[in-house]
A and B are shown apart, each in its own frame.
Chain A
Amino acid sequence: MSELVSAWVEKIRHAAGSATPLRIEGGGSKRFLGRTVDADVLDVAGNTGIVSYEPTELVVTVRGGTPLAELEGVLAGQNQFLAFEPPHFGPRATVAGCIAAGLSGPRRATVGAVRDFVLGVKIIDGRGEIMSFGGQVMKNVAGYDVSRLVAGSLGTLGIILEVSLKVLPRPFAERTIRFSCSESEAIRRLNEWGGQPLPLSASAWADDTLTLRLSGAWAAVDAACVRLGGEAVDADVAAAFWVGLREQQSGFFNADDSLPLCRLAVPSVAPPLALGGEQLIEWGGAQRWLRTDAPLERIRTRAAELGGHATLFRGGDRSGDVFTPLDTAVLAIHRRMKAAFDPAGIFNPGRLYQGI
């Protein structure tokens, strides 16, 4: 155990003993996510470095504080990448922050989310105990899948010391094409294409424009472009577009930010939201970003009606229900799960839900 980690263990034991809450922070790039936590910061950015990387095993094990950009650079050196295309939301974004936030980028609908690529974690729990779950292999059903549980838990279950991730080779070919179409037409087409063996890797609809990315073998991408038609987008422009989308820095996201940004996760086939405001649709229809003055309750009701849920992603009241409230029985399981990992309730209390 490094000196740094031993110091954290001490600090955690002490905090647990005195029930002193801690706000776990790496690069601070996703500080805006979730509910406000009023607590002293435990800075976990210092625990850096790649523990092991075997390109031919498609696995990398990396310390939590490692900058996401550094990891991506190392993978790029071997022509590999994190296929879930995590948003950074800032130059200091860390790997542990990426896992804890559980946010996936444009490729999510076709390759999977952060949790789909998590193979193992090493954490410190709220007792100051260091534990490892999962491992460095693709297939592993020994014990409960705690590593995937940790993904997206917003630091409420433990501090991520290390994570093992499945990585993939970069696609041989990538092309972006564009169509003019309405919202309902975009949703219809995206779902139709999604049911066909096409090499889709990302989609975005806003301002009556549907942008599609195709990735894979050259032959497959070229054939799909011919079949789908549309207007070809220059490779550099396309690359900037998808990064801008992932980082929420362009177009729709740059517009009026006086209104809160809501994220609706709905079935891809869900019809237009009809909630007014401005909208951007990703993930083949399954992720809808919305800026509207409609009340959050109304947005939540609509999301639930469609079979999904709505998150107050940026802005608005950060002390309220930022995430869709859980059913009673599921909430009770959450409370007990939180207590199982963090009995004194010291890790990011309230970041996810009140009391969790």
Chain B
Amino acid sequence: MKVDEETTLGERDADFSAVDKARVVEALARVLPAGALMYEAEDLHPYECDGLAAYRALPLVVALPTTEAQVVAVLKACSALGVPVVARGAGTGLSGGALPHTQGVLLSLARFNRILDLDPHARTAVVQPGVRNLAISEAAAAHGLYYAPDPSSQIACSIGGNVAENAGGVHCLKYGLTVHNLMRVRAVTIDGDVVEFGNHALDAPGYDLLALMTGSEGMLAVVTEVTVRLTPKPQLAQCVLAAFDDVIRAGDAVAAIIAAGIIPAGLEMMDQAATAAVEQFVHAGYPLDAKAILLCESDGTPEEVAEEIARVRAVLEQSGATEIRVSRDEAERMRFWAGRKAAFPAAGRISPDYYCMDGTIPRKRLGEMLTAIQDMETRYALRCINVFHAGDGNLHPLILFDANQEGELHRAEAFGAEILELSVTLGGTITGEHGVGIEKINQMCSQFTRPELHQFFRVKAAFDAAGLLNPGKAIPTLNRCAEYGRMHVKDGHLPYPDLPRF
């Protein structure tokens, strides 16, 4: 056998058909208190999917521990019985990362919902994984601090899930992703060892396993405690709305802002179709004749913001903006953002179904991508509206379709797959912030070579040799890649339709 053909245990398509539900229930009942274990079908249904509702599966059982000792006991029991474990936070993920395993335990961390410590002087918060993202900022607000990463689902998503997905948001060009704002993660391995990665200093000895854990989609260990860094709240934020009569020109304006040495707090783009869709929904006052609009936010001290806004305005004027509006007060700033934040619900309003993509591309390739998407709209006979985290190249095309129309679902799937494949071809990635989960697992085969996929399995095996944590997610087996021809995904119906998604 050649060295690169070695396989680790977790890499083989695992067969868990021998798992015996009665034995699992018995083992877990011994370590969990009453009310923390569910195994009747009607109790399992609420857990059958996460935010990617097209994929559904009932777990064997749901465990709802309240203490770390219980998590240790559950994992030890599962390890001993060879039972898969899927950890779940708030269940708002968009890539099916928390999709249950039909032969496994769904381990919900929802009851780990306490903020354990908030130290305003040290600017840190120690929280349990089930704490909502926004709850941290709310608790820190009294001290003039906040937790910077703000994924759109922040009112509902949990910090444990944010760690698992390396969640982003609209402000990450300036303030970073989850990985840049974590100090320490405490976790339990599948063997039941309690481990800590990072600390309350700025680095830790040894390999950077904190970075590795971040975005690992529940494949390496189960998070039981997180320390996040808190950031001083900017005194003021102001937003510039600029209209362009050409999408490429808008893209060039983004590059010009960066070239001028400006790192805005947020930099978002919407194409005309997206603007039209949201305008009839939220009446943000967007110019409907523009081919693209940019939203550029500046934050800091009032003096700093004034200086930066002047600079941004000058660049936008030179870049051929047809209209520039600067928010005059907080209400107007919120109105500028309201449309952008309503893009997903607006798509759901103008179309029976839509499918959200998450590729990231180098910004300079935006024109090529948008031209290609236009061509795809014709070929697949489906409409697509585009919203774009322009500052960091993260594109969210929303493919509109009607699942009740014969063939539309299939065409939407193919359309989405082609966008992801093109993202890779253009030098980007299949997922910027939503994760691979189950949704994009086939496209991983396009982005990575065989040796790289092998290496991912070896990395996993360093934590979870038996491959019991979230099997079948994030990293495709080579068999799967061999079988992969086209992506086969169902419609992208979002549960929690009221949650902003952007």
A interface with B by C-beta (< 8 Å): 54-59, 79, 102, 108-109, 112-113, 115-116, 125, 127, 129-133, 135-146, 148-149, 151-153, 157, 168-170, 172, 191-192, 194-199, 216-220, 222-223, 265-269, 283, 286-287, 307-309, 311, 323-327, 329-334, 336-337, 339-341, 352-353
Q: Is the CB of A116 within 8 A of B203?
A: no
Residue of A nearest to B204 (CB): A309
Question: Whole-angstrom distance between the alpha carbons of A194 and B474 in the complex?
Answer: 38
Report the minimum CB–CB distance from A240 to chain B (whole Å). 24
22 examples of A-B residue contacts, CB within 8 angstroms: A113-B203, A116-B176, A127-B4, A136-B362, A142-B444, A142-B448, A144-B220, A151-B211, A195-B120, A196-B232, A198-B232, A219-B303, A223-B304, A265-B202, A307-B201, A323-B206, A326-B206, A329-B194, A336-B462, A339-B462, A352-B206, A353-B206
Which residues B98-143 have CB closer than 8 A to chain A? 119-124, 143
In the complex where A192-B121, A195-B121, A337-B207 touch, is A138 in contact with B360 (Cβ < 8 A)?
yes
Q: Is the CB of B122 within 8 A of A191?
A: yes
Q: Is B24 in the interface zone, CB < 8 Å from A? A: no
Q: Is the CB of A333 within 8 A of B234?
A: no
Q: Is the CB of A309 within 8 A of B205?
A: yes
Q: Is the CB of B255 within 8 A of A195?
A: no
Bitwise, B421-445 to A at CB < 8 A (1) or not (0) is 0000001111111111000100010
Which residues B215-237 have CB closer than 8 A to chain A? 215-216, 219-220, 232-235
B interface with A by C-beta (< 8 Å): 3-4, 119-124, 143-145, 165-166, 168, 172-173, 176-177, 179-180, 189, 193-197, 199-209, 211-212, 214-216, 219-220, 232-235, 255-256, 258-263, 300-301, 303-304, 306-308, 360-364, 389, 392-394, 427-436, 440, 444, 447-449, 451-452, 455-456, 458-463, 465, 474-475
Report the minimum CB–CB distance from A335 to chain B (whole Å). 8
Interfacial chain B residues near A131, Cβ < 8 Å: 449, 451-452, 455
In the complex where A131-B449, A135-B428, A149-B207 touch, is A197 in contact with B459 (Cβ < 8 A)?
no
B200 interface neighbour in A139, A168, A307, Cβ under 8 Å: A307
B207 interface neighbour in A112, A130, A152, A198, Cβ under 8 Å: A152
In the complex where A223-B301, A265-B201, A309-B201 touch, is A56 in contact with B259 (Cβ < 8 A)?
yes
Question: Whole-angstrom distance between the alpha carbons of A152 and B430 in the complex?
Answer: 27
Q: Is the CB of B206 within 8 A of A140?
A: no
Q: Is the CB of B201 within 8 A of A340?
A: no
Report the minimum CB–CB distance from A48 to chain B (whole Å). 22
Interfacial chain B residues near A142, Cβ < 8 Å: 429-431, 436, 440, 444, 447-448
Q: Is the CB of A141 within 8 A of B361?
A: no
Question: Whole-angstrom distance between the alpha carbons of A329 and B206 in the complex?
Answer: 13
B444 interface neighbour in A125, A143, A266, A287, Cβ under 8 Å: A143
Q: Is the CB of A269 within 8 A of B122?
A: yes
Question: Whole-angstrom distance between the alpha carbons of A144 and B205 in the complex?
Answer: 20
